[in-house]
């Protein structure tokens, strides 16, 4: 049975219909990868799956990376558990609570993630939505003058593990960081994508701190414009796959008294961002 790719009525994304995640044929894997490159975000609804199924799905797009932490809620080192569930008062997953600002996964590394697949096991009664910006469309919307200004610029990004809001970071703490082109080229199709985000982008080389922060804010405002964002309201059994090179994403707040359990695989890239 062939799958159907149905574009969302949004700035990005497509729903995948007719796919059995437990049994992905080579033809379906090829169709998924083509849709991933075209729509940047794939939505699969209402399919509870195992950790092994999630890994197999992620492998349609590339090799799977290791998690920083092995959670007792999975036991696998290739599954990242994102959850506010606690044992003895301590979270058994990563990024447990509340709102998280727009970010690009691992942009503070030499080779950031290519993408990720995130699966909903338990969700709160309200909130905890995941929002995605279309960083390709955002770049294309810029004026010719601003595109010219961005040519050749490089931005430095950093991340303090566990922090979900920029203002909460410990400015005195040394953080992993890396510098990449501010506009990156996607090798498969030559698209240009804005590689900037509010949580992790610190400065732009060659600009004063004041001018750099002003430009970062200007670009993030374009990325986060509601017209450029899809917000996913989760249902148990949903899985999202996104191209981390073409999107940034964020999380809305949710009640801390309600359980949220998500499982994720990170899809590795093979090359550093191209300018």
pLDDT of res. 175:
75
> What does the pLDDT look like over 177-234, one tens digit per residue?
999 999 999 999 999 999 999 999 999 999 999 999 999 999 999 999 999 999 999 9
For residue range 47-58, list pLDDT tens digits in order.
Answer: 999 999 999 999
Query: Which pLDDT tens digit goes with each residue over 146-173?
Result: 999 999 999 999 988 666 665 555 554 5
Percent of the chain clearing pLDDT 70 (strictly above): 95
- CATH superfamily, domain 4-141+222-267, is Clavaminate synthase-like (3.60.130.10)
- Alpha-carbon distance of 239 to 116, in angstroms, equals 10
pLDDT of residue 135: 98
CA distance 55 to 82: 16
Which of left, alpha, beta for 46 (phi over 0: left; psi -120 to 50: alpha)? left
The residue-averaged pLDDT of 8-24 equals 97
Q: Supply the pLDDT for residue 1.
A: 61
């Amino acid at each position: 049975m062939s799958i159907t790719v149905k574009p969302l009525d949004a700035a990005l994304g497509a729903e995948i219909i007719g796919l059995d995640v437990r049994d992905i044929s080579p033809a379906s894997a090829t169709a998924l990868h083509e849709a991933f490159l075209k729509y940047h975000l794939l939505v699969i609804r209402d399919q509870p799956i195992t950790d092994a199924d999630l890994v197999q799905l992620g492998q349609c797009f590339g090799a799977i990376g290791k998690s920083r932490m092995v959670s007792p809620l999975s036991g696998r080192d290739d599954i990242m558990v994102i959850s506010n569930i606690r044992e003895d008062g301590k979270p058994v997953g990563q990024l447990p609570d509340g709102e998280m600002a727009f970010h690009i996964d691992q942009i503070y590394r030499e080779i950031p993630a290519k993408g990720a697949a995130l699966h909903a096991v338990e969700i709160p009664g309200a909130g905890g939505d995941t929002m995605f910006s279309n960083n390709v469309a955002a770049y294309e919307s810029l004026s010719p003058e601003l595109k010219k200004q961005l040519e050749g610029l490089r931005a430095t990004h950093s991340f303090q593990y566990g922090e979900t809001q920029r203002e909460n970071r410990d400015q005195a703490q040394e953080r992993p960081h890396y510098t990449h082109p501010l506009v990156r080229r996607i090798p498969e199709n030559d698209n240009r994508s804005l590689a900037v985000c509010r949580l992790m982008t610190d400065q732009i080389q060659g600009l004063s701190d004041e001018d750099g922060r002003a430009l970062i804010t200007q670009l993030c405002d374009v990325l986060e414009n509601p017209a450029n964002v899809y917000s996913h309201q989760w249902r148990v059994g949903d899985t999202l796959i996104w191209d981390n090179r073409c999107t940034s994403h964020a999380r809305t707040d949710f009640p801390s008294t309600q359980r949220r359990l998500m499982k994720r695989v990170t899809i590795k890239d093979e090359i550093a961002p191209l300018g």
